[in-house]
Structure 1
Amino acid sequence: MRVFKAVLLGVCMLGASAAQAAIYVAADDSPATRLCVSAAMDVPIRFVMNMRESNMTRPFIANRITCNGKNITAFAYETGNIKNYQRLSRYHRGFVEISDLAKAPMVKPTDTVVAIQGGNIAVFASN
């Protein structure tokens, strides 16, 4: 009986920790960061509206925007927003990763907070 109670307690604690959802907050107010947060959290129609409002093309967003050092397409997949990942993967042709560090204030002790910093890849003309 003791073993059963110990196993039941362990399963309950594991389930409680898995129920916490990550909260994504913007580390700055750049358009790339807003797109990163939208790719992670928004429903597909809102994400499309945010892409339109950014005045960037979809191939540019899918290939040149990075979120916390990862391409926005991979970032959407990693955060579990599969519909936005599928939308971006239509335009994704490869990427270069740039590391950005971000810090955000705490929301609640029980929430998992992920600060997102977007970045564009600079394109330089060669002589």
Structure 2
Amino acid sequence: MKKLTKIITAAALSFAVLGAAHAGTELVPADNEAGSKLCITATTGNVFKMHKALKENKLTKRYVTDKVTCNGQNIVAFIEQYGDKSAKMNNFLTNGKYGETHSVIASVNTH
């Protein structure tokens, strides 16, 4: 019984520490530019808000994933590092291609 109590206590403490560490990161836009606001919106994990922001700024998802940088990273990497529901948001931005791996098979002809 004591062992079970210790395990539960350790697990609860771990979750509390992880939650406090994540709660300490507050992202604010550095300026009033559309790109900065998109970076912050993307980290919320709210696909509806991101879709609305893209429409308001007349931007495509492809343009955002190819051209927008946040803190020196492309937006997909930024969302991975700082975002809530990062896989969901990145799947939205990449039209379901987030996390896909591509194998390239090449052959050399020596004729």
Structure 1 gap segments, 5+ residues each: 93-127
| Higher helix proportion (structure 1 or 2) | 2
CA distance in 1, matches of 2:27, 2:63: 23
Matched, 1:73 2:76: yes
CA distance in 1, matches of 2:94, 2:65: 7
Partner of 2:16: 16
| Higher strand proportion (structure 1 or 2) | 1
The higher relative CO (CA closer than 8 Å, separation ≥ 6) is in 1
Identity %: 22
CA distance in 1, matches of 2:88, 2:41: 12
Look at both structures and tell me which one has the larger radius of gyration over its CA atoms: 2
TM-score scaled to structure 2, two decimals? 0.64
Deviations 1:49-74 (CA, angstroms, capped at 9, x unpaired): 00111122221111000111211122
Task: Tell me how large the CA RMSD over aligned residues is.
Answer: 2.7
Length, aligned pairs only = 92
TM-score scaled to structure 1, two decimals? 0.57
The alignment partner of 2:59 has SS state of coil
Q: Is the contact between residue 38 and residue 47 of structure 1 (CA under 8 Å) also seen in structure 2?
A: yes
Q: Is the contact between residue 73 and residue 85 of structure 1 (CA under 8 Å) also seen in structure 2?
A: yes
1:84–1:45 CA distance, 2 compared to 1 (3 A): same
